[in-house]
Amino acid sequence: MAPSTSPLRINAPAVAHRAMVVGPAPTRLVARGAREEAEDLALAAGATRAEGGGRRRRPEPPDPYRTCFERDLDRIHHSRPFRRLAGKCQVFIAPDDDHLRTRLTHAIEVAQVATSIARGAGLNATLAAAAATAHDCGHGPAGHASEEALSPFVPGGYHHAVYGADVVLAPLNLCAETLDAVRNHSWNRPAPSTPEGEVVAWADRIAYVCHDFEDAVDAGVVEPGELPAEVAEVVGTNRSRQLGAFIGAMLDTIAETGTVALRQPEAGALAALRAFNYERIYLRPEATEQAARVIRLLRSLTEWFVANPRGLGEHATPLRPGTAEALTLAVRYVSGMTDRFALALAVEHLGWSPSSLPRGV
């Protein structure tokens, strides 16, 4: 066999399939500063601009290629609090049906709605995506009942938005604008400081009222035909149509008014669907009974860990039982649990029988 005439390349870069041409070598990379300048020209006047390393509690040098909000989104995606949302329920506790939403799939859907609105309105879609992705990282296991369960142990009460921004996400050193949008995404909180944060607040409500109804239908809790007429006639009867109608109406309202708002009749339809969900899904007798079990379980678990801080891990070894430090760490630990982990510990540490545990549907 004749020897190869191809030139020998030493230390040639590896390729996955074949070399795909980006441009003539050497190729000019697009640095963060240039991208910030292009973004500034493309965004609406009131949109939030990414600047250098961002406004962080602990200052950091800028990334060479990522904007500060892109860096935030990457950190959130790689964080344990975000991954644990896969094991925290949206409505139905530890469901056997893998198609019912979890907090993780809810967060992904909220981010989709938020970025759709932000892009169309000329707002900072990356900031909206980061805040939407992280907005529920402060939720405890087994749904909203965890807030009532943990409130007696937290000065001023436990609010998932505040706890998420100020405690759970604090180690990520996120930008002030991202944390503000997380802290104030709930409608019972003060208004966010950015239009992107206000978009996330709307996106959260739009996403959950639509997908919670869909999940309740799939779980056999309600029937499709029970959808209120003021909802069906305005935004349709399936989730895809409803999301499109709400997002389109928000963009039209922003274009007409210059503010983040939702016109009528879509705002009325959203309120009617939310009211229906509260009456028929969230506050139905079976759900309130399960919520009472959740509250009792999580409070008992927290008290057990305060009395047994060694169970909190190696960092809790020096803690004395019953101290304020043990309580702080116990709340942090219990609030971070997935549904199944909390239920398993109730059996292991509290002696609960499996039949007495909270159930999903």
DSSP category for residue 52: T
Q: Are 157 and 151 in contact (CB under 8 A)?
A: yes
CA atoms within 13 A on the CB side of 7: 4
CA atoms of 190 and 134, how far apart (whole Å): 18
Cα–Cα–Cα angle for 313, 315, 319, rounded to 5 degrees: 95
pLDDT digits (tens, 9 = 90+) for 117-175: 999 999 999 999 999 999 999 999 998 999 999 999 999 999 999 999 999 999 999 99
pLDDT digits (tens, 9 = 90+) for 188-223: 999 999 999 999 999 999 999 999 999 999 999 999
CA atoms of 185 and 356, how far apart (whole Å): 34
Residue 262, Cβ density class (10 Å: 0-12 exposed, 13-18 middle, ≥19 buried):
buried
Of 206, 269, 190, which is closest to residue 240 (Cα–Cα)? 206
**C-alpha separations of 147 from 81, 105, 166 in Å:** 17, 20, 15
Of 145, 189, 80, which is closest to residue 293 (Cα–Cα)? 145
355 Cβ contact list (under 8 Å, min separation 6) = none
Q: What is the pLDDT along the chain (361 residues), one digit of tens a residue?
A: 555 555 556 788 898 998 888 888 888 999 999 999 999 999 999 999 999 999 999 999 999 999 999 999 999 999 999 999 999 999 988 777 889 999 999 999 999 999 999 999 999 999 999 999 999 999 999 989 999 999 999 999 999 999 999 999 999 999 999 999 999 999 999 999 999 999 999 999 999 999 999 999 999 999 999 999 999 999 999 999 999 999 999 999 999 999 999 999 999 999 999 999 999 999 999 999 999 999 999 999 999 999 999 888 766 668 899 999 999 999 999 999 999 999 999 999 999 999 999 987 6
Task: Indicate the domain borders of the chain.
Answer: 68-285, 287-356
Q: What is the pTM of this model?
A: 0.94
> How many residues appear in the chain?
361
- Compute CA 161 distance to the chain's CA centroid, rounded to the nearest angstrom: 10
CATH number of 68-285: 1.10.3210.10
Of 249, 227, 226, which is closest to residue 236 (Cα–Cα)? 227
